[in-house]
């Protein structure tokens, strides 16, 4: 099968869909891989590395979209890319459609086959293709938040971990999933005072086993969120409903409770954000201020560490890609319900309920869509 890897064109997105090592594996299985010129350069992978393992370097994205049967990306197709997608072409990437109506409509119109990394599951209901980037984003969220707390960034002018004679910052982590756990790794490592809010008592017990008395677990239906927000110096939003828009846990009115110069890092922004005042930003212009609260809402945080992110992502995404290339999408998806959960838009139909519900559009179960 012919697999195409275009260069990412979202602002400040420096990751690439496949590493040279992944290309080597695919070529050894008899597949042809097309990589756009300098597509991996910012992630530390040059053209020569791709050519050495059998990839063909292509100078125009349009040629890749025109020739490839599978398009492998990192971020959702941008407007110019949507226009190049062909009918029955497989798009394999992060999509986050529940927060992107124009993209959803564009993919429906293209009649392509769209498999979203973020909704593929495993036998325990986890999201193994989302997890590595959630881990990276969770760790970056505290680094970014600590930087934003500096006075020259319009923050409170405090050091996250405090200092002799100075109290550490209060960090409030919303959501105890992969993002929340990894945010806690960094926040506790920096010796901040860390509260983690989650609705699951079991998950909070697991986090307590991991971190001990370095965190303060808070069950969402038994805690005073207003009080926690008012005391927080840094809030990390890591709430996820798979494939659906994130719930708004922090309202605009709650911002009035926060201290001047406190910081919100909304990692959930890819799915619309879990803070009412959040809006997507970029690495080039990452913050804005609402009611004296600094908001950091970069929608592709792991793109800031592209080499680490690309390598971690490929380890998770390559096994399914190999199956799609070796045996075709129908057999692969019909034989494995976890892979099938990744099918979001199929030949003009929405096949993921969270996306259909987000825009009040018709939903077709993926099993039914594939059988037609």
CB within 8 Å of 83: residues ≥ 6 apart: 106
φ/ψ of residue 341, rounded to 5: -65, -15
Check: CB of residue 72 under 8 Å from CB of residue 3: yes
| Residue 96 known to be catalytic | yes
CA separation, residue 357 to residues 205, 243, 245, 363 (Å): 32, 10, 10, 8
- In three state form, how does the secondary structure of 239-285 look? CCCCCCCCCCCECHHHHCCCCCCCEEEEHHHHHCCCECCCCCECCCC
* 8 A C-beta contact, residue 216 and residue 195: yes
Q: Residue 351 to residues 38, 72, 81, 150, 333: CA-CA distances in angstroms?
A: 34, 20, 21, 45, 12
- Distances from the Cα of 33 to the Cαs of 143, 255, 320, 323, 339, in angstroms? 36, 49, 16, 15, 22
Catalytic residue (one of 195, 266, 270, 295):
270
List, in sequence order, every residue forming a beta bridge with 3; answer none if it has no partner: 33, 70
How far is 337 from 141, CA to CA, in rounded Å?
A: 32
d(CA 230, CA 257) in angstroms, rounded, equals 5
User: Which residue among 96, 195, 198, 233 is the active-site one?
Assistant: 96
Q: Classify burial at 183, counting beta carbons within 10 Å of its beta carbon; exposed 0-12, middle 13-18, buried 19 or more.
A: buried
The set of catalytic residues is 96, 270
């Amino acid at each position: 099968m012919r697999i195409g890897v275009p260069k990412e064109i979202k602002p400040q997105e420096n990751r690439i869909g496949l590493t040279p090592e992944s290309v080597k594996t695919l070529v050894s299985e008899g597949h042809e891989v097309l990589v756009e010129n300098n597509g991996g350069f910012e992630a530390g992978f040059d053209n020569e590395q791709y050519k050495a393992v059998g990839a063909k370097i292509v100078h125009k994205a349009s040629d890749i979209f025109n020739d490839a049967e599978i398009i492998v990306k990192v971020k959702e197709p941008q407007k110019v890319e949507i226009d190049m997608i062909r009918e029955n072409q497989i798009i394999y990437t992060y999509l986050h459609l529940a927060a992107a109506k124009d993209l959803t409509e564009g993919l429906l119109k293209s009649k392509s086959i769209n498999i979203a990394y973020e909704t593929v599951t495993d036998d325990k209901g986890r999201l193994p293709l989302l997890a590595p980037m959630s881990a990276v984003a969770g760790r970056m969220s505290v680094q970014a938040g600590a930087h934003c707390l500096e006075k020259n960034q319009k923050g409170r002018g405090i050091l996250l971990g405090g200092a002799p004679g100075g109290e550490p910052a209060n960090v409030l982590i919303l959501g105890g999933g992969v993002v929340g756990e990894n945010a806690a790794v960094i926040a506790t490592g920096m010796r901040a005072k860390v509260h983690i809010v989650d609705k699951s008592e079991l998950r909070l017990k697991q986090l307590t086993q991991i971190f001990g008395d370095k965190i303060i677990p808070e069950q969402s239906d038994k805690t005073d969120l207003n009080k926690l927000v008012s005391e927080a110096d840094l809030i990390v939003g890591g709430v996820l409903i798979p494939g659906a828009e994130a719930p708004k846990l922090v309202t605009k009115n709650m911002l009035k409770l926060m201290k001047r110069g406190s910081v919100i890092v909304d990692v959930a922004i890819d799915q619309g954000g879990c803070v009412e005042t959040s809006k997507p930003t970029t690495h080039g212009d990452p913050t804005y201020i609402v009611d004296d609260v600094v908001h950091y809402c970069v929608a592709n945080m792991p793109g800031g560490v592209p080499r680490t992110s690309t390598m971690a992502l490929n380890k998770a995404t390559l096994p399914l890609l190999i199956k799609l290339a070796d045996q075709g999408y129908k057999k692969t998806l019909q034989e494995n319900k976890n892979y099938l959960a990744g099918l979001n838009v199929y030949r003009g139909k929405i096949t993921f309920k969270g996306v259909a519900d987000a825009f009040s559009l018709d939903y077709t179960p993926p099993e039914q869509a594939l059988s037609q």
